[in-house]
Amino acid sequence: MTPAKACWEQVEVAGNAVSGHLDVHRDSMVDMLPDSPVILAIFLLLDSLVGLVIGAGCGWLVSLASKGHRSKLWHDAILGIVGLLGGITAVAYMPWHQNTITERLDGGGTVTTTMNSYQHPWIVGVVFAVLSPMLYELYRARHGRKR
C-alpha cells in the first residue's frame, strides 16, 4: 500500500508505542483482491458450485412440496448461482453506515476496526441463493395450476 492510500498514526503511552490507527481510503479497496487471478478464479468457481447446490436443492424441495415438475431443476441451479454471486457483489457496492468496533487487549492496547460496508456478504448471498429458486418454483406451481 502506498503512503498516499493509507496513513499510519502511532499512539504513544508513557513513551511506548502501544497501538496504532490505519486509515485506508475507499479507492484502495482494489488492493484487497487476491494477487493471483488463478486464486480469484478458483474462489469464483467454488462460490458458483455452492450457489448451484443451494439453488438446485431449494428448487427441488419446493417442487416436491408443491408437487410440480422437476424438469426445470437446472433453472433453479442457475438462479442459485446468480443469487449467491449477485448477493455478494451487491453487498460489496452497497453503501452502509460506518461501523466501528473497539477491542481492548490483555496487554493494555486497543484495536479499532471501522468498516463502511456490510460485514456479512455471505449471509445476503445465501439468502438470495435460497429465495430466488424458491420464488421461481412457487411462481411455476401457481401458474401451472391456472392453465
Q: Are residues 74 and 141 in the same domain?
A: yes
DSSP 147: -
Q: Total domain count for the chain?
A: 2
In a shared domain, residues 108 and 138: yes
Q: Are residues 28 and 90 in the same domain?
A: no
Examine the domain organization and report whether 21 and 44 are in the same domain.
Answer: no
- In DSSP notation, 101-126 reads EEEE-TTS-EEEEEESS-S-HHHHHH
CB 99 within 8 A of CB 114: yes
Question: Do both 70 and 17 map to the same domain?
Answer: no
Domain with 14, as residue range(s), is 1-32
pLDDT tens digits, one per residue of 28-66: 555 666 567 888 889 999 999 999 999 999 989 988 888
Q: What is the pLDDT of residues 130-147, one digit of tens each?
A: 999 999 988 888 887 655
Are 88 and 117 members of one domain?
A: yes
Tell me how far apart the alpha carbons of residues 85 and 129 are, in angstroms, rounded to a whole number: 8
- More confident site: 115 or 6: 115
Q: Are residues 22 and 81 in the same domain?
A: no
Q: Indicate whether 75 and 60 sit together in one domain.
A: yes
Does one domain contain both 88 and 127? yes
Whether 23 and 86 map to the same domain: the answer is no
**69 and 105 in one domain?**
yes
Question: Distance of CA 114 to CAs 28, 91, 99, 118, Å?
Answer: 15, 16, 5, 11
pLDDT, tens digit, 9 for 90 and up, residues 65-91: 887 777 788 999 999 999 999 999 998
Is 54 in the same domain as 21? no
